[in-house]
Amino acid sequence: MVTDELDHQLSIINALKLEAQLQAVQRYESRLQEIEEIRRQIELVHQGKLSLVQIDTSKARVDQRIEREHAPRHIAEERINGTNNFQDAFIIDKLAHLKNAVCRLTLNGRGLGTGFMVAEGIIITNHHVIPDEATAQRMEVEFGYEFDSNKILKKADKFSLHPQLFFCTSSIAPVAGDATSGLDFTLVAVDPSANLSRYTVAPLDGTLGKIVMGELCITIQHPAGEPKKVVLKNISLLKLTETHLIYESDTLPGSLGSMVVGLGTGEIIALHHAGVPKRNAEGRPVTKSGAVAYPGTPDEQIAWEGNEGVRVSCIINAIEQMALPKAMEPFRQKVLRRTNDRRQIRQEAGKMVTESVNAAGNHKTEKQNVNMERTAINKSDGLQANELTSFIILVKNKPESIQQVNAFLTARYGRPIKIQLLTPATAIDGADELFEFVASPKISLSDEAAELTRFTYIQAAEADVPLALNTYIEKREGGAGTESVYESGVKDKVWEDEFASWNEEAFQKEWAEAEFVKGRKAHEFRRWNHDAARFDKLTDEDFSFLKENPVFIAQLDTGFTNHFKVVGGFDQDLDVDLIDNDADAPDELQGGVLKFPGHGTRTGSILIGKQPLFDLSDSATQHDGNYGLISKAGSRIIPFRIAETVLLLNRQKELAKAVDRAIASGVQVMTMSMGTASTITTARLAKKTYDAGVIWCCAAGNEVKFVVAPAVFPGTIAVAAHNPDNGPWPKSSVGDAVDITAPGQDVYVPIFAKGPNGTRLDDFAYGSGTSYATPHVAAAAALWLAKYKTELLDVKGWQRVEAFRTAITQTARQHDKLPKRGYGAGILNVDALLNSKKGRPTPEMIAGLKYAYDGWNEHHFIASLQGWTELFKSYWNLAHGGLRRLFGMEAMESAAATATLSDFSKTQETLLFGGGSLLESDAALSPDEAISRLQVLNNLILQNAKA
Amino acid sequence: MAHFDFHFHLLFKHAISGDTDANEHTDVNQNIDVKGFADLLDSAFGGPFESQASPQMVLQSPLKFGLIAILSVEHAFVKRMMRIPGFRLEKALPLDPKMVQQIKNSEVSYHELFQKQVTFTRDTIQTHGKDWDMLLLNRSKDREEPGVWEAIRKRANANMQDAIKQQQNYKGSRWFALSIEGGHNLSEVPIRNQQGLIHQTPEETLKKLQDREDVDFMAINLSHLSRIPEMQLSGFAQGLNMSAQKAFKSPDFHPATECGLTFLGKKLVRQALTHTAKPILIDVKHMSLYSRLQYYRYRAKLAEEHQQVAKLPVISSHTGFTFTTYSNFIGNQQYLPQVDTDGEGLPVTTIAAQERKIGKTDDHNNEDLFGNPWTINLFDEEIEEIFNTNGMIGISLDQRVLGTRKMFLDGKRKSHYEPEHLAREEYTKLFENGQVPGAEAVLLEGLQRVVPLPRERHSMLLALHLVHAVRVGLNAGIAGPADVDDPSPWDYLCIGSDFDGLINPINSVKNITQIDRLKGELMRYLPQADKTLPFYEHEKALRYDRNGTVDRKYLESVIDKVLSINGIRLLMRFNNNWGI
């Protein structure tokens, strides 16, 4: 009986197999010409005359395949081509994982075919192995039927199948009118009580780009029911039809149901289902010896010339469309999950930002209906190819690698090139470090950067092009029909010269009921920021530590002016001007476009602004009032001038030099009220600073909603802004990267007002920005480092930064008006920081600290940044250029050279946002749209770091 | 005469040889003796490895007073020691190979190594002090055993007064103070650690040393010969020349990335100078010109806040001179600059200074004498600055510091001296933009055969240095300290041999036992130097009668001052804590 049943089943399978084979032969023959052409091209690839990606005629597939490499196009192509024979080792893990999903299907102990688990408790095999539910009922699935390394069979697990729970199948031959037919697959549920924990799931991914023509694939199978085998021998993909793919192989004698995996991506590309035998003149299959084969001829004797598998994308499509009982729906969804995840990844990237912003509450994006003219500014790279440009590259800091790179670049550009360390003072021997060199590439800068990374010793590359700086500029309608200006000099007319004006009336009107304004006199509410962050609670003793143990604070900004508020507060003996190599770093005070007089003065005043000389309580006419948070300690700050204006970071190199010099000189706190796009350089600098134990307080960002660089990186302290009523500043960037929130909306800062005959008067105004929030945290850091100097003596490197982060977050002040999400731990509370147990860096606290870069994959992040950088920078500059244009300012001229997006970036843009390239088109793109796209891109890049 | 040496290394070679971990050093009563191939190297390179001032040599010498410099071996020395096939330099040299590995592999901090040397030096002198009749000065307040330190100070004062008076017949003990050569000795993070850790609190480390009772330090150099990325205090000047590069082949001996006195450096200077019980002087030797100028300014600023700082002299313990002002050198660009990038990604900035003739000998085939124009040597403004602080300059006995360049026919030079490296930013600021802020010599001479020079060349160089400094002082109207007999700029000068500091000593004085030769050499060459030095010729360093004959008594008195009295007086001031 048992034998009869088996024989019966075998005969059915054989008949079906022949049917499948027939189908395969038909398809094969109809495409023979194309297949032969691809074979010829593959031969050319082997001879190094052709690139694999050139074989494939589908641009979309090639692009998506490239995207899966998470690497710049040229690196990706190289990997795919296999000319660079290295593949990341994780592919082995991936394959091992897949292997454990493969099972064999047995009837009465006899192996009849292969299958694999595509979702928890669901396996897939060919239709001709399990044609119907009744067969499934009788069959068993066996996992782990394979040899161990001693060639002894492992202990396998057998389970029964439960088609009543879930079963769906697609016939071998297409049935007219049924789009889900003709794919030769069956999905069936395994006994739900089965313990499958030893085995893995190999989910099906229905999206494209898992393999391109000519690329290699491997199979995992139970050939003729034998213990599990893998075929690692060269199997090239020859042809994709709408439903099937055909590969070159003579080693797959009808291994029904085996898993076919793209070697480049480690993704399942097909369900193997039939071989294409060689045929004689009459079309009869022949054996290897040339004899005519018969239906009973064992597979291994038949001469095979190709094999056919069912495309995973088609299987997924079919599963989606199949009519199934409602009870089976959850199973279907399980099978589709991977595909849906991948399909949604882009949309989700966008959504996440919006959600987090919405969750953060009461944010309303003002509709900016001004159409933004498309000007050259939106071209990220800003500079034309062929111009002399600085490139920053990531290379191992070893003489051998440097020499290799020098030789490579010298050959590439035809003149001697020696790369130079970007941060020579803090460079570590043997570590990955940033280097720079200057060249005039013949292709676009980002293509060139991508080209550079093809060289083994260059891990990442970017052109050092001007980047917009994220600093907030707000135009605000004041009372009584007059325009008043918050953050200085933003009003069009005002902007043309360097002046702004006092705006307390507007401030009072808006914040009359606010906690830190109501019932207070002007000289009191002008320093509301002290009260909000609890600096008002500090005693002389709290300041005495800092007085006795000066902490060096570097301000990375535009330099300083001689506004009376800050005179003497900048340590001019030490300042470092990285722009002009001048002795001091004074703001040039050039009004008008591109200049933003006094940004460094204003942010600096929050730290070191002088205390008013007179008692201001009765003097309503005096405008003075606010003063520096650590002025009482006699502190001064060291200006590192990294930008000429708050609008533009001309060179990342200058930021790098500042960071390098600051760390090497023993600066303990850096405050940076400027942000920019995530770049390879800023990412590396943030990590370097963190590892060295320097606390880098960074503005979370304004307007764009997501946290900008360098605040976004794990190593920095990211600061969001709140208002005089403990509520959020609506324009503050928010997100998981934010550590703490500090006063930033309508903070009273020094400006220059217009005096008679165009003279300049020292005056004050209320301004907003995370720019102003940031120095609060720097001040707290200085006080904390000084107070706990002894406790921190043996705390080195990143632990110093992490201890501070822990201390400020644990002592943060909570307020109902501040949303729980997106604003870090709450509002800075310096009193609790210095005077409560939670702020104290005890040995227990230190022992519990976690390295911020655990869970952050720097390698992936850089690779992902490398791939997206051009598009990201383009949208970044576009969004910022747009913001500024809204306020009557013109484009950033230095970035205004015309350059075009590389094809790669255009493709990315289209893939991501649909339609043609907007950056390239003449259609107007609103700043909102630019920002929302920027958010999508930002999240995409960050996701890779966390993956 | 009871000689004084402002800078030498009594036990350095012993401290770094043997099994330092097990505290099993080469016997301190034995000299370090290099054998085999290393001996060959030693003689080829000019003898830096043989002992020059070991305890036994000191005992045989008239050296009675001085400063013992303590330092840990820098990473640059062990990074890539010369590789000759089949031969490993670090094994042949008197160096503990285990320690070399520790330094190479970031397994230890400079401060740990330094502490070991301090302990070793202290214990050795304590153990053998009686036999050697050698003591260490110490300003510590008595805490545990009342009266002990006080008694030592009294005894030292008495001995030193005696030595100044008796000179030739001094029979008292040997008294030494300790100094810290190089800020790196204070770094508490692992040497060249891969995590990028910076030692952010060198001032605390120094304070711990200052608060110690068992030892006392008179001075510290902020930098030494190489780059210390884990704790930069100030820029350093290139000290090693190209042939040394061949042996130790490391770009770290080239200033490249430093920039002046750092924030860490300022914190350290503040701590060093404002500690009331035991302030430590800053020895400007090895600092870059830019950093030195910044230091002078910073010290002046600090003196406004802290009165005691004004009492603390500026010193340079083992230097040479450039024989010009930096205003002239930079203002008239007496050098050829070159700016490049090296093959290891570091900026390379070099200047080749014009050769500067500073005197003549009677050897007509080889008559001209030249100084060493490298900016590690002091400029005239600085000599004046140091004199004005009641300071002290120790002239090195390293022939390269003094100006010797070639083994033979050194009197024939091309237009420019061997280029030296400067840190890029310091070069840009000072040399290109003329912003005044607020090489030590050569370890190894190259593998060519040694042809001895007429020994007087080196002595003449030494004499020219002394005369030059005095003339600079006279020209600036420096009167000399108020509390000495016949005050003059001569009161600010002494000898800082740098023996056992891996130097190539002047031919006339190969090691400390020969230091008494100096008096004779100077008697002979100071008058010649005063005659031939072409700078400030209107000022004469010596005194002459109407016929132009040298005042011999005066000559003898200034030589006594330089070789002995000045230094002893400085030690007395130290012993009495600078009158604070």
Q: Radius of gyration over alpha carbons of chain B, in Å? A: 22
Residue of chain A whose alpha carbon sits nearest to that of B104? A429
Residue of chain A whose alpha carbon sits nearest to that of B262? A665
What angle do helix axes B456-475 and B380-388 make, rounded to 10 degrees? 60
Inspect the interface and report whether the beta carbons of A796 and B189 lie closer than 8 Å.
yes
Nearest 5°: CA angle at B400, between B398 and B405? 150
Average pLDDT over residues B557-564: 94
| Residue B258, number of CB atoms within 10 A of its CB | 32
* CB-CB neighbors (< 8 A) of A660 in chain B: 257
CA–CA gap between residue A135 and residue A130 (Å, rounded): 6
Give the strand order in the sheet containing A304-311: A229-231, A217-221, A259-262, A267-277, A304-311, A244-248, A236-240
Inspect the interface and report whether the beta carbons of A665 and B195 lie closer than 8 Å.
no
Residue pair A811/A836 in contact by the 8 Å Cβ criterion = yes
Residue pair A187/A118 in contact by the 8 Å Cβ criterion = yes
B59 burial via Cβ count (<10 Å: 0-12, 13-18, 19+): middle
Residues of B with a Cβ under 8 Å from any A Cβ are: 189, 192, 194-201, 204, 229, 232, 256-259, 262-265, 267, 297-298, 340-347, 425, 428-429, 433, 435, 437-438
Q: Compute, in degrees rounded to 10, the torsion defined by CA atoms A819, A824, A830, A833.
A: 120
Residue of chain A whose alpha carbon sits nearest to that of B193? A428
Residue pair B205/B186 in contact by the 8 Å Cβ criterion = yes
Give the ipTM of the model, two decimals please. Answer: 0.81
Q: How far is CA A901 from CA A380, A894, A920, B36, B54, in A?
A: 8, 18, 7, 68, 71
Mutate to test the interface with B, among A429, A546, A690 (most CBs of B within 10 A): A429
Task: Output the pLDDT for position A896.
Answer: 32
Inspect the interface and report whether the beta carbons of A664 and B262 lie closer than 8 Å.
yes
Residue A664 pLDDT grade (very low, low, confident, very high; cuts 50, 70, 90): very high
CA distance B84 to chain A (A): 19
Residue A755's identity, in one-letter code, is: G
B343 closest CB neighbour out of A403, A430, A664:
A403
A555 interfacial to chain B (CB closer than 8 Å):
no
Residue B452 pLDDT grade (very low, low, confident, very high; cuts 50, 70, 90): very low
Residue of chain A whose alpha carbon sits nearest to that of B227? A425
Position A378 pLDDT exceeds 50: no
| Helices and strands of chain A, counted as H and E runs | 26, 31
Q: Which residue has the higher pLDDT, A320 or B560?
A: B560
Task: Output the pLDDT for position A887.
Answer: 42
Task: Output the pLDDT for position A550.
Answer: 86
Task: Output the pLDDT for position A596.
Answer: 46
CA distance A791 to chain B (A): 12
B280 burial via Cβ count (<10 Å: 0-12, 13-18, 19+): buried
Side-chain-side CA neighbours of residue B277 (13 Å)? 14
* CB-CB neighbors (< 8 A) of A430 in chain B: 194
Domains of chain B by residue range:
3-579
Average pLDDT over residues A412-441: 92
Tokens of A438: 């200057």
CA distance B188 to chain A (A): 9
A568 interfacial to chain B (CB closer than 8 Å):
no
Residue pair B238/B84 in contact by the 8 Å Cβ criterion = no
Among the listed residues A122, A139, A121, the one whose alpha carbon sits nearest the alpha carbon of residue A130: A139
Residue A809 pLDDT grade (very low, low, confident, very high; cuts 50, 70, 90): very high
Position B456 pLDDT exceeds 90: no
Domains and CATH numbers, chain A: 2-321 (2.40.10.120), 376-463+857-946 (3.30.70.260), 497-847 (3.40.50.200)
Inspect the interface and report whether the beta carbons of A793 and B433 lie closer than 8 Å.
no
Mutate to test the interface with B, among A400, A432, A796 (most CBs of B within 10 A): A796
* CB-CB neighbors (< 8 A) of B264 in chain A: 665-666
Residue B549's identity, in one-letter code, is: T
Any idea which of A229-233, A818-822, B405-409 has the lowest mean pLDDT?
B405-409
Residue pair A739/A808 in contact by the 8 Å Cβ criterion = yes
Burial state string for B442-456 with b = 16 or more CB within 10 A and e = fewer than 16: bbbbbeeeeeebeeb
Position A373 pLDDT exceeds 50: no
pLDDT above 70 covers a percentage of chain A that reads 76
Tokens of A4: 């009869």
Average pLDDT over residues A465-469: 78
* CB-CB neighbors (< 8 A) of A405 in chain B: none
* CB-CB neighbors (< 8 A) of A573 in chain B: 297-298, 437-438
* CB-CB neighbors (< 8 A) of A688 in chain B: 196
Inspect the interface and report whether the beta carbons of B267 and A666 lie closer than 8 Å.
yes
* CB-CB neighbors (< 8 A) of A403 in chain B: 343
Q: Which residue has the higher pLDDT, B70 or A581?
A: B70
Helices (H), A633-699: 652-665, 680-692
Position B207 pLDDT exceeds 70: yes
CA–CA gap between residue A358 and residue A650 (Å, rounded): 34
Inspect the interface and report whether the beta carbons of B264 and A663 lie closer than 8 Å.
no
Tokens of B505: 């000593």
Q: How far is CA A246 from CA A388, A618, A643, in A?
A: 49, 89, 58
CA distance B266 to chain A (A): 10
CA distance B571 to chain A (A): 31
Task: Output the pLDDT for position B532.
Answer: 86
Residue pair B242/B421 in contact by the 8 Å Cβ criterion = no
A420 interfacial to chain B (CB closer than 8 Å):
yes
CA–CA gap between residue A409 and residue A411 (Å, rounded): 5
A687 interfacial to chain B (CB closer than 8 Å):
no
> What is the interface size between A and B, counted as CB pairs within 8 Å?
113
A793 interfacial to chain B (CB closer than 8 Å):
yes
Any idea which of A20-24, A703-707, A892-896, A934-938 has the lowest mean pLDDT?
A892-896
Nearest 5°: CA angle at B452, between B446 and B455? 125
* CB-CB neighbors (< 8 A) of B258 in chain A: 425, 664
CA–CA gap between residue B221 and residue B206 (Å, rounded): 12
Average pLDDT, chain A: 78
Give the strand order in the sheet containing A389-396: A420-421, A432-439, A389-396, A460-463
A692 interfacial to chain B (CB closer than 8 Å):
yes
What's the per-residue H, E or C state across B174-219?
Answer: EEEEEEECCHHHHCCCECCCCCCCCCCCHHHHHHHHHHCCCCCEEE
Position A47 pLDDT exceeds 70: no
CA–CA gap between residue A841 and residue A286 (Å, rounded): 80
CA distance A635 to chain B (A): 14
A688 interfacial to chain B (CB closer than 8 Å):
yes
Average pLDDT, chain B: 86
B198 closest CB neighbour out of A402, A433, A663:
A663
Tell me: domain B3-579, CATH 3.40.50.450, correct? Answer: no
Condensed to tens digits (0 to 9), the pLDDT of residues A89-136 reads 777 888 888 888 999 988 888 888 899 999 889 999 988 888 888 889
CA distance A227 to chain B (A): 49
Residue pair B487/B390 in contact by the 8 Å Cβ criterion = no
Condensed to tens digits (0 to 9), the pLDDT of residues B146-171 reads 788 999 999 999 999 999 988 778 98
Q: Which residue has the higher pLDDT, B98 or B208?
A: B208
Query: Phi then psi for A887, rounded to 5 degrees?
Result: -95, 25
Inspect the interface and report whether the beta carbons of B345 and A429 lie closer than 8 Å.
no
A431 interfacial to chain B (CB closer than 8 Å):
yes
Question: Coil, helix or strand for A609?
Answer: coil
| Interstrand relation of A475-477 and A553-557 (parallel, antiparallel or unpaired) | unpaired
Q: Compute, in degrees rounded to 10, the torsion defined by CA atoms B512, B513, B517, B522.
A: 10
B433 closest CB neighbour out of A395, A406, A581:
A581
CA–CA gap between residue B68 and residue B213 (Å, rounded): 18
